[in-house]
Each structure stands twice: as structure tokens, then as C-alpha cells.
Amino acid sequence: MNITLERESLLRPLQAVGSVVERRQTLPILSNILFSIDGGKLTLTGTDLEVEMVAQLPVETPDSGDITLPAKKFIDICRALPENARLDLKLEQDKAIIRSGRSRFTLATMPAAEFPNIDPIESPLEFSISQQQLKKLIEQTQFSMAQQDVRYYLNGLMLELSQNVLRAVATDGHRLAVCEVDAELPITEPRQVILPRKGVTELMRLLEESETTARIQLGENHIRVELPDISFTSKLIDGKFPDYQQVIPKDPARIVTCERQPLYEALHRAAVLSNEKYRGMRLTLSANQLKATVHNPEQEEAEEELEVSYDGDEFEIGFNVSYFLDALSALKSDQVTIGMIDANHSCLIQGNEDHNSRYVIMPMRL
């Protein structure tokens, strides 16, 4: 096996594939990247057994063959080579020799046969969606995913497929984010799958703000997203996502409407003096006025007043100010509506111009 590669065309797919390779591995082969050459194509594969990333690029060689190279070292070498460098990669017994200009590296290899492959997805459900839309779904919700929660099914993003809508839902049990886009899906029964947190982060990195399509395959235990030049496969979390519909307030009695940006800025300032751990904030509502008060264990206090549209009774409720800021910065509308039932029930925040994203936050008892 003997190929010549251009640093500039190699670097991007290599880094994408390398990003799933974990620094610390129990299985030595998992710190390597699989290189397969066949029919004028180089296929790069990286995996952590949960997420697999496969990239392809054309190469000019009549050779074919497979080998694995240590991911981090190979990437570091490519990165450190000068721009527009050319690399010659050649196998000699169980070593790989890389030559570029006056540089020469000998890397240890491991046999390709040991590299774990995710089997092809059997009879998958297939559909397409623009990269842009898929990106939006993730962007608008991913910050609400749980992290290392014992309720393992919360440590990911739930994708809900129904005939005309593709919906993403994330929750850590304290707040919840829902975003939906229109889509033509070839199904009759709605279906839910949960993507693990790491897969979500990796996929997000691959997606671009473009109209090009992402082709999605859904199997029993895996999801695959095929993008031009790169394909992403992830295991699904085997678990039942909680009934999210049930916690979205249906008809909240207390409605506040206001401009998003000034509210965000006011809460952002107040948050400076919140308790670093609990991030508690008290909202006091009275006729057309919202007051946010925040204090910390050092007895320092912040108070912000804001004119809003509100015609309900005087009312107090506590929140984690970070959850509020996350929702307000994800929303793109100029005007937002906050719907509340009482101080013990979840509250709903959504944009007035864009109803695709909704945020639910559970209050705090202060």
C-alpha cells in the first residue's frame, strides 16, 4: 500500500473522524483510525463503539488495502506540516512510513481486522432533511440535555418523528426544550428515538448552515446521518423518554409579554449576584411590571425592573436564572411570551414570531 495525499484535502475529514476517538481507551485499537483504500477512494473511520464517523476522499492509486494508525499522532503530524504539503504514506511490514519534504515519520500500526465496525443498519427508515434544519433542531435544544443523570434516557436528545413534523426534545428534569420543523416523513405511526449526548455534540460539529441535505437512516438501535463526504453513525439510547407533552403548560393563566433583548440583558446583569450554585432569582409581577431580585450568600443583592405587558394579579415566583437566560438566548423572536400557572408549576417561554421553539422551566422554591 502506497499513497500520496494532499494535506489540505486530508486535514478536515481526518479531524472530523479523529474527534470521536477518545484519548483514553480500554481497547488500544480504539485510539487508532482505520484507513481503507479501494477503487481510488480513501475511507477513514474512527469510533468509540458508541459513535462512528466515516469520511471519504479520492486518492490516486491503483493499490487497495486496510491499516490502522494512531489517531492523535497522525493528526498532530498533519497539522504541524506546512500548508499545501504532500504526504507519502507507505506500509513496511507493521510500520507506516510518512514522508513529506524533508520530514520522515515511522508510526506503529495495528491490523485492520481488529478494528470494530458497526454493521450496516438493517431495513432502516430513511428520510432527508436539510442540514440547516437539522442543525436548528439541535442548536435550539441541546443545552437542556442532562449530564450523567441516573435517568440515563435524559442524557441525550429525543427525536420524535411524526408524519409532517420532526421534533427534538431535551430535558434535564428541571427544564425542557422543544423545537420542531416541518418534514415529510415516510411513517404512519409516530416514533421516538434518543441520541446520546456525545453523538449530539459530534453531529452538531459536522452540520453546516446550508440547504444541502442530510440523509438519515434509522434502525432498531442505530441512527446514521449521511452528509456529503462524511457519514455519522451513533447508537441509540435504549430507554423510554418521559411524557414531555404532559409538562408543557396548556393554558397558563398568567401571561407576560415583553421584548426579549431588554429582558435578557436585565436578567444577565442581575445574575452576577446570584448564588453560584443554586442561581436562584425571584420574579415579582404586578400590573405591567416585572421585578427580578437576586442575592447571594454574601448578602449582596441585585434588583432589576422592567416594563412588560401583564394584567394579572400580583404574584411571586422563583427560578434558576441560568435556565431563563439559556431559553432567552436561544429564542430568536423580538418579543417573547412567558406563561405561568402558579409558583409550583412549570412555566412556558416562547417567541411571538416563531412558535417552533418552546422552553419549559420548573420553578424553584426560594
Partner 1 sequence: MAILHVDMDAFYASVEVRENPALAGRPVIVGGAAEGRGVVAAASYAARKFGVHSAMPMARALRLCPDAVQLPPRLALYSEISQQIRAIFARYTPEIEPLSLDEAFLDVTASETLFGSPVTIARRIKQDIRDELSLVASVGIAPNKFLAKIASDLDKPDGLVEVPTDGIQVFLDPLPVTRLWGVGKVTGGEFDRLGIKTIAQVRGLSREFLQREFGKFGLHLWELAHGRDPRPVVSDHQAKSISMENTFAVDVGDKAILRAWLMDMGEQVAYRLRRQDFYGRTVQIKLRFADFKTLTRAHTLDTATRSTREICQAALTLLDDALSVTSAPVRLLGVGVTGLCDEPPVQQGDLFAGGETAPDKQRELDELADAINNRFGKQQLRRGGGFH
**278 part of the interface to partner 1, by CB under 8 A:** yes
Please report how close the Cβ of residue 301 comes to partner 1 at its closest, in angstroms.
16
Residue type, 179: C
**344 part of the interface to partner 1, by CB under 8 A:** yes
Closest CA to 143 of 301, 324, 273, 287: 324
Task: Name residue 309's beta-bridge partners.
Answer: 257
**273 part of the interface to partner 1, by CB under 8 A:** no
Please report how close the Cβ of residue 172 comes to partner 1 at its closest, in angstroms.
9
Q: Which element (helix H / strand E) includes 347?
A: strand 347-351
What x-and-dash track marks residues 281-320 binding partner 1 by CB under 8 A? -------------------------------------x-x
C-alpha–C-alpha distance, residues 9 and 32, integer Å = 20
Q: Which is nearer to partner 1, 28 or 173 (CB)?
A: 173
**363 part of the interface to partner 1, by CB under 8 A:** yes
Among 18, 280, 339, 351, binds partner 1 (CB under 8 A): 280
Please report how close the Cβ of residue 166 comes to partner 1 at its closest, in angstroms.
23
**By CB under 8 A, how many residues form the interface with partner 1?**
20
Q: Which element (helix H / strand E) includes 145?
A: none
23-62: contacts with partner 1 (CB under 8 A): none
What x-and-dash track marks residues 316-335 binding partner 1 by CB under 8 A? --x-x---------------
Task: Name residue 283's beta-bridge partners.
Answer: 292, 317
Return the sign of the alpha-carbon dihedral for residues 220, 124, 185, 129. Answer: positive
Phi, psi of 360 (to 5 degrees): -115, 130
Task: Name residue 336's beta-bridge partners.
Answer: 258, 351
C-alpha–C-alpha distance, residues 163 and 186, integer Å = 7
**339 part of the interface to partner 1, by CB under 8 A:** no
For residues 149 and 173, is the Cβ–Cβ distance under 8 A? yes
Please report how close the Cβ of residue 365 comes to partner 1 at its closest, in angstroms.
4
Q: Which listed range, 30-38, 172-180, 213-221, 226-234, lies at the site for partner 1 (CB under 8 A)?
A: 172-180
Angle (deg, nearest 10), helices 197-206 and 131-139:
140
For residues 283 and 316, is the Cβ–Cβ distance under 8 A? yes
Q: Exposed/middle/buried for 237, CB within 10 Å: 0-12, 13-18, 19+?
A: buried
C-alpha–C-alpha distance, residues 92 and 84, integer Å = 25
C-alpha–C-alpha distance, residues 188 and 185, integer Å = 9
Please report how close the Cβ of residue 296 comes to partner 1 at its closest, in angstroms.
12
C-alpha–C-alpha distance, residues 91 and 95, integer Å = 6
Q: Which is nearer to partner 1, 83 or 243 (CB)?
A: 243
Please report how close the Cβ of residue 320 comes to partner 1 at its closest, in angstroms.
6
**362 part of the interface to partner 1, by CB under 8 A:** yes
What x-and-dash track marks residues 215-254 binding partner 1 by CB under 8 A? ---------------------------x----x-------
Among 55, 129, 331, 364, binds partner 1 (CB under 8 A): 364
For residues 356 and 181, is the Cβ–Cβ distance under 8 A? yes
**144 part of the interface to partner 1, by CB under 8 A:** no
93-122: contacts with partner 1 (CB under 8 A): none
Q: Which listed range, 224-232, 265-273, 303-311, 357-365, lies at the site for partner 1 (CB under 8 A)?
A: 357-365
**175 part of the interface to partner 1, by CB under 8 A:** yes
Closest CA to 335 of 281, 255, 276: 255
Residues in touch with partner 1 (CB under 8 A):
171, 173-176, 242, 247, 275, 278, 280, 318, 320, 344, 346, 360, 362-366
